[in-house]
Amino acid sequence: MTNALSNLTSLPSSKVNRTDLAKRYAASSFLKRAQVVSSGKLVNEKGIKPGNWAIPVSDDEVTDLGNSIDVLVIAVRDKALDTNEKPPVAAYDPEGDLYKQIEERAAEKNSGCMYGPSFLVYERSSGQFLEIFFGNASGRQEAGNLADFLPVSEADAKALGPKFKAQGPQAATLSTKYIKRPKFSWWAPVVGKCSTPFKELPETEEFVKQATKFINQKDEGPEVDEKADEGRSR
């Protein structure tokens, strides 16, 4: 009996548009992150060049963004991360006991703990909303420069004084620099102003949705493993 697949063109099928279906389920609800690659699995197994920015997608997939990225800086929150747990555990309340415990342990060498500001950005080349976590010492030192690109409301601008003006998310270019010490060396983030305007952007409603979800994160729970290529807590 002939049963060629090429003849099965009239099978009953859902009327869901295949393009809409792909878009609906392509994006995970979990916020991906961009990070500076210094060493570890992303270098040794995935071939990412040290000093590049990358988006770890899964154990088998990573997106190489190159040595600089352009981002719109949308929001910021506090974050502490313990990567010793499987999966890692995050805390977002700097006054909470868990956050304070992780922050204290982060001072220990190779503790697997990090803390600092976590930024929500929209990255140009990938067209994605991403988290950038400045959880080590080098990141925390540079975080203030990135904070200058955050939105400022009319009310906040008035409260801050005449030197401040209301603004929407500003465009920054994030590159990296190599830091060498007698016992350690690593790559660290560098923040600069972006001179190229963003032309294609998601709808305003999507920015609001992403920012609201980001800053209202309260639960302390599992995170993806972030310790492999953060350069540890330098």
Residue 17's pLDDT is: 59
Instruction: Give the dihedral sign, CA 192/198/202/203.
Output: positive
Residue 222's pLDDT is: 57
Residue 70's pLDDT is: 98
Neighbouring CB atoms inside 10 A of 185's CB total 14
Residue 168's pLDDT is: 92
Residue 8's pLDDT is: 57
Residue 225's pLDDT is: 44
Residue 79's pLDDT is: 96
- pTM for this entry: 0.81
Q: Identify which of 184, 137, 140, 176 has the alpha carbon closest to the alpha carbon of residue 36.
A: 176
Residue 110's pLDDT is: 87
Q: Where are the domains of the chain?
A: 29-141+171-222
Query: Across the 234 residues of the chain, what is the mean pLDDT of every consecutive 10-residue run?
Result: 56 56 52 92 89 91 95 97 89 94 93 96 96 96 96 89 88 96 90 94 95 85 48 41
